[in-house]
Amino acid sequence: MTSSTGRNDPEALEKMLPGTEGLERTGILADLCVVFRGINSQKVIEYGIQGLELLESVEDKDLESAILKELCWAKQCLGEYQAALDYGFKKLEIDNDRNKSSALNIIGVTYWRMGKYDKALECYLKALSILEEVEDKPGIAPVLNNIGIIYNNMGDRKKALDYYNKSIKISEELDDKNGLSNSFNNAGNIYRKSGESEKALEYYHKALEIREDLNDKRGFSHTLTNIGTVYQDLKNFDKALEYFLGSLKIEEETGDKLASVDTLLSIGVIYASTDRLSEALEYIGRGFDAAEEIGVPDLKRDCCETFSTVLEQKGDFRKALEYHKKFKALNDEIFNEDSSSRINELQVKYETEKKEKEQEIYRLSNIELVKTNEDLKHALDEVKQLSGLLPICASCKKIRDDHGYWKQIESYVSEYSEAQFSHGLCPECMKKLYPELSEHNESQHSRN
């Protein structure tokens, strides 16, 4: 993970802290928040709070915004979603109009983790609208990826993959490794759910390689879990368990409670698949306790569903039915008719507003083009010039026009230029035509 100033060695940064104060100290604290993201959430919170306290006496909106962002991510990892939202909305409040997209994206992720998909999508689409208006490609890619996650959660794989591929294309153009790893990982999820195991593993290993290079422990553990799930689907339980246990170890180190629930459930399912039911229920129970602590509806729902399946396998039908009823109630709570309708409305609204904006730009462009053409025509009408070879009579000096008619030279020039004629006589012609007047004028001139 790289800090905003490029200082990415946590030990070196921590050694710099003593003896510093004011904005210098705050800057180091902000960098520490960045380098510990995905590695140690508690450290992020510790340094982030110190930074915010310093900023009460030394104002710097950019530093405050950066620290609030990291605190929001850290609180999400710990499952403290209301605190994460508080930091996210505080960031939204202090950011300028252009930067509000970043806060909206973070708030959207928090809502997604809480299972509030309609609110998440609303934030993402607002962020996307701002980013598209200013053509901020680095910002657009992660938001497209996050929208894809919403549709994946809703079961619309085609639309999800479409958004992931758009994100991948932009990330490749920008050589954005972090963005690429996220989109590769999520595209792998689509291929796995579609039964394309080889394709899924291909994308997961692309993500894994990048995340290892970036030292993104949190992302690395997520991809390990996903690879484990592919091997689970292939009935290679030993290989699956190896990946799941590796992932769980990292999640416990980083304090990523949300991810650990999924991994604990996956380990429980592996044990159930090999008839080790007691161990299966132990891990599922640990996952259920963590989900209860976090309080996220879709995590609790998944735990209830897994509990019900394993209890039925064990022959405890009464408890299995109890957890199945809890699962159904939670599922109805998450995907109720109003929520699904709201998500569809938001997507339609975004597409409509985008088309209206494009039509307005096109309309204004046409108006400007018409005006420009009219101005140009008017200018051409007023500014005529003579050019090229003019056929002129050697005797009478008439000029032949484009239609073959011979015109007096003054008539032709007046028609094809802005010149106007006033007639008179040159001295030679005056002598020839009016000799008496010419002599009189010369004698007058000599006396003077």
Residues 6+ apart with CB under 8 A from 399: 390, 391, 392, 393, 406, 407, 408, 409, 412
In 3-state terms, the chain is what percent helix, strand and coil (to 5)? 75, 0, 20
pLDDT at 43: 92
Report yes or no on 7 lying in a domain. yes
Virtual CA dihedral for 281, 284, 289, 293, nearest 10 degrees?
Answer: -170
Domain range enclosing 422: 399-447
Report yes or no on 288 lying in a domain. no
Per-residue pLDDT of the chain (448 residues; tens, 9 = 90+): 444 444 668 888 989 999 898 999 999 999 999 998 877 889 999 999 999 999 998 889 999 999 999 999 999 988 889 999 999 999 999 998 878 999 999 999 999 988 888 899 999 999 999 999 988 999 999 999 999 999 988 888 899 999 999 999 999 999 999 999 999 999 999 999 899 999 999 999 999 999 999 989 989 999 999 999 999 999 999 999 999 999 999 999 888 888 899 999 999 999 999 999 999 999 999 999 988 888 777 788 888 999 899 999 988 888 889 988 888 888 877 666 555 556 666 666 666 666 666 666 666 666 666 666 676 666 555 544 555 566 777 667 777 776 667 777 777 666 666 666 666 667 777 677 666 655 555 554 444 4
Please classify residue 326 by burial: count the beta carbons closer than 10 Å to its beta carbon, then call 0-12 exposed, 13-18 middle and 19+ buried: middle
Report yes or no on 128 lying in a domain. no
How far is C-alpha 197 from the chain's CA centre? 28
Domain end (from 63, 95, 127): 95
Domain end (from 38, 73, 95): 95
Give the number of other Cβ atoms within 10 Å of residue 98's Cβ: 13
Global pTM value: 0.59
Residues 6+ apart with CB under 8 A from 420: 414
Please classify residue 21 by burial: count the beta carbons closer than 10 Å to its beta carbon, then call 0-12 exposed, 13-18 middle and 19+ buried: exposed
Nearest-5° angle of CA 178, CA 152, CA 325? 130
Report yes or no on 403 lying in a domain. yes
Which CATH number fits the domain that encloses residue 53?
1.25.40
Report yes or no on 88 lying in a domain. yes
The amino acid sitting at 357 is K
CA distance 408 to 419: 14
Report yes or no on 78 lying in a domain. yes
Report yes or no on 86 lying in a domain. yes
Question: How many structural domains does the chain have?
Answer: 2
Query: Contact at 8 Å (CB) between 392 and 413?
Result: no
Domain end (from 43, 72, 95): 95
Give the burial string for 164-190 (b: 16+ CB within 10 Å, else e): bebbbebbeeeebebbbbbbbbbbbbb
